[in-house]
Amino acid sequence: MRLARGQAGQATVEWVGLVLLASVALSAVVAVAPAIDGRSFGGFLVHRIFCAVGRECGDPELARAYGDADSALLRKYAPNLVYEPGEQQVPVDFRQCRAVRCATAPDERDLDTHRTDTGLPATGFTRIVHRAGRTYLQYWLYYPDSNSTIGDADKLWNAAPFGDWPGWHADDWEGYQVRIDPDGAAKVRSSSHGHYQWCKGADCRNVWGRHTGWTRVSRGSHAGHQPLERQELRERTTTGEALRLVPLESIDPGSYR
């Protein structure tokens, strides 16, 4: 659709203003708040800029399923994903993609990606439970397959001419959960090979730990854990602000397969 000259000029002015605002905001972060997680804040800011220009953002599907308050919680605590080097898949909507070829994005350090090479959005499926004064936020991430990386086996198997192989399975679901206690404190855990864990240590198995905002996606298996040390973030990420969230309650269970 062609814009009138005045409209086009106004759009240009708005865009320049937003870019200047972003620059000022980032400068303020560096000057007065060095403890802020720059990568997730940057993802938030860029997403908000595009929202302001396109006016197409928001989570109406979440609001319809859970109401405004719970949908805001789900968006607030949506995980920032950081991928181990060599992992090319991003979580996708299983109703749109169930093959690796439509679920990959470039494995580039410093890249914050929210779409696959085929244009599909990075997606998480949600569920929320209120129980005994606590609120549980569940995020389920779907990857078309899971692969063993022991001895770089995934590179060998991916080039093999046959079908199934040891350490591989189709339709990989991983979970990230947030528990909000009555005092408002948030604890988290991620799924990993049939159990949950907070960190990779043995003492983190099936326990809840402090909320960091991040979960690290293991190459091949996609098992998750919370990074214990501040990351340099020289790894590919998908920041949670622009992760598409779909309520599981809105999907017919008969369509899962």
Confidence of residue 167 (pLDDT cuts 50, 70, 90): low
pLDDT (tens digit, 9 = 90+) per residue, 13-61? 555 555 555 555 545 443 433 334 455 555 556 655 656 555 557 789 9
**Cα 57 to Cα 51: distance, rounded to the nearest angstrom:** 5
Predicted TM-score of the model (pTM): 0.76
Task: Please give the residue that has the higher pLDDT: either 35 or 133.
Answer: 133
Residue 163 has pLDDT above 80, yes or no: no
**Residue 234 pLDDT greater than 90, yes or no:** no
Residue-level pLDDT at 1: 46
How much is the pLDDT for 169?
A: 78
pLDDT band at 12 (very low <50, low <70, confident <90, very high): low
Q: Which residues, 6 or more positions from 13, have their beta carbon under 8 angstroms from its beta carbon?
A: none
Task: State the chain's mean pLDDT as an integer.
Answer: 80
> CA 176 to CA 168: how far, in whole Å?
22
Strands 134-146 and 123-131: antiparallel
pLDDT band at 7 (very low <50, low <70, confident <90, very high): very low
**Residue boundaries of the structural domains of the chain:** 60-255
Contacts of 128 (CB under 8 A, 6+ apart): 66, 70, 73, 74, 135, 136, 137, 138
pLDDT digits (tens, 9 = 90+) for 172-226: 999 999 999 999 999 999 998 888 999 888 889 999 999 999 999 999 888 888 8
**pLDDT score, position 202:** 85
Count of H-run helices and E-run strands, the chain: 5, 11
* Cβ-contact 175, 194 below 8 angstroms: no
At 119 the three-state DSSP class reads coil
